[in-house]
Structure 1
């Protein structure tokens, strides 16, 4: 085997011999938490799930070694007393965590969390009836080694219309201003919000909000670092809310932190170990092709469903807003293209019936079988993924590993082991360190050394090494 493969094998063997020892937490002191859940508001819309969310998150924390103080349905005075008690417990080596589920607001760029009795008849009432989020952050940063804050709040400004603009029982806020953006000046601080500035945070229709449900699911994963776990939280919440809510994280944590630092009780199979490595690569690449390549390599496994969900989200199907039939209809396939699909599937061994350009029952079954082989949802309808894989002429390609909506950096090492086109890997190496829009252009070659050249910031470039 090659040197790099030998390194991977020896690394895996070492982990097996060591019993996959658990990674160390960022801090070695106590794990302390204050959890607040307010549902029974008297001057604004009550929240069905906030108190239940707090109880669920408190139970999760206790299972993972936290000493938890819980405040359920408290007014502003009770909130303040709980914060005072909590702050006195924190020592310089401790990890301190604060969680809030309930109504929140911003005023003049500052964020506030509301007790049950908040009325806020004018802006002059805010200081006396609400708790400033930055005061909580400041106390934790001064006293703890590591500070973690999770805010599942409504993110609207109650003064705008007396807290009554939201759709009752549906959201934790109205589509008004949301919470203000935050930044952290202290080291070792992470602040996680259930929604981005200006977005509504949904209370949820089940037992818990989408945000808290995703937190408990992913933060509890064995030996999963909090930053990686939160990426999966963001993806889940986007899917469950049809992309209307996207959590946000602000972090300057230098060390790694694990909620569940225990390794699996049994030895991990080599395939699962390598699948996890590839999954994290695909997360960093964050393109449709990256997830397609992952699923082609790992069609089953503990995180394959998460990979399929990520792919659906990037393809615009995460929330089910567009039916498979509608997605195919929007492609406006010509009869010639439909016939090409049939012929290509037939060449691959699928029974499509007659190649007449009409996607009948047999062709639909063949498309479903092909989707299954790719690890995709079996719909029987053509989408951009299927068209890309079949290299359908005349359909814009969106499957480049280096295709992205925003300028970004790609690490060539992340492409290795997933990307099957060596030219793409060499191009990424050529462009290493250049933060630009990278898109593969499909069609007639523009560079003599490339069948499919790359464009950099809308300009054609040629990498001699490609």
Structure 2
């Protein structure tokens, strides 16, 4: 009831606080899990997609990749290094296998095949210290998050093949020292291994990062204190994140206006000027902030695409662990049960043979359900994020790609006389029911509470 009261109160006024980003922010986000020579990890790709979505929504230019070979990872790093030149904030996030050899840390591409120390040091792995030095040295603030302490099967192989001279190989990562203006955070302590989490969800460390580092008005070091506490509690004290920091001044990834003003005089502190949060938006957020129903959180995002609490809403949606709500599950009544277990990837989606018009249809259907996206006919990064959000809300494997069963499920949710009547241009934002309302001859039937609410509110407020 309180949700609908708050929803109806929006009809009185709509004032959206648009963030005006004043600094240059660049992020490298990669998750490697589909290893070819050892058992795959189920969650790094999910971790990377969730983190990339969160960072984009607080103003980062994100270089993103999942399941990268050595060559592809090098390409992404070169791109990141160029973009990070002169950055106010450079952020490095990696999820996947990592290994420490004689005190040096290495990240592992999916094609790594490590049998000896020589394999590690002569190019099969990515040296962390060298990588950070070459890509982030010019940034004022450097934030490094390494969720790379999984139990590593390569470590045993290298130990068994070691020569007579001393060789230290650890499954986890080794201690690293931060430099001036840098924060380094590990999923767990030196030489220890971290949990990957339940398959198809975020790891405990990434989940805690998503929940805390972009919280409005929270300074990054305060956020990391909360991250450590959350992971420690969630893992029953079996895992405690660890790190070093040599930051100068306060750093906010999502400052509120007051925090930005208070730190305006602090040197080397990235500043973000953001508009005030309206009373209506604040009341709306309070009414759904504790909700476990993705459709309610998506309703907030639809009506406040640049809202003050956007990053928090996305962070709650992306790593939902308890499955979709009962209401959401009812939307999929009659759907083949295999839809909930069959993963989709690029190959499966390519097999659908979707042309440009059919891709637009998918995008419009997602928007009609409250998962707002642009009907461009191109499945770009933003569309992949929206597909992942839809999959998470429905309890499907979250990959950002569609297969035959998921496409049929989506089509069965939105039974419309007409998904859209206008032919949207490739480079123009679409003006459709999900964002601007259900009027103007565009009528949708079904889709559940999220779709109904998005259409109702959009109809009340047109731009």
TM-score bin (small chain): 0.3 to 0.5
Higher relative contact order by CA 8 Å / sep ≥ 6: 1 or 2?
2
TM-score w.r.t. the length of structure 1 is 0.47
From the CA coordinates, give the structure whose radius of gyration is larger: 1
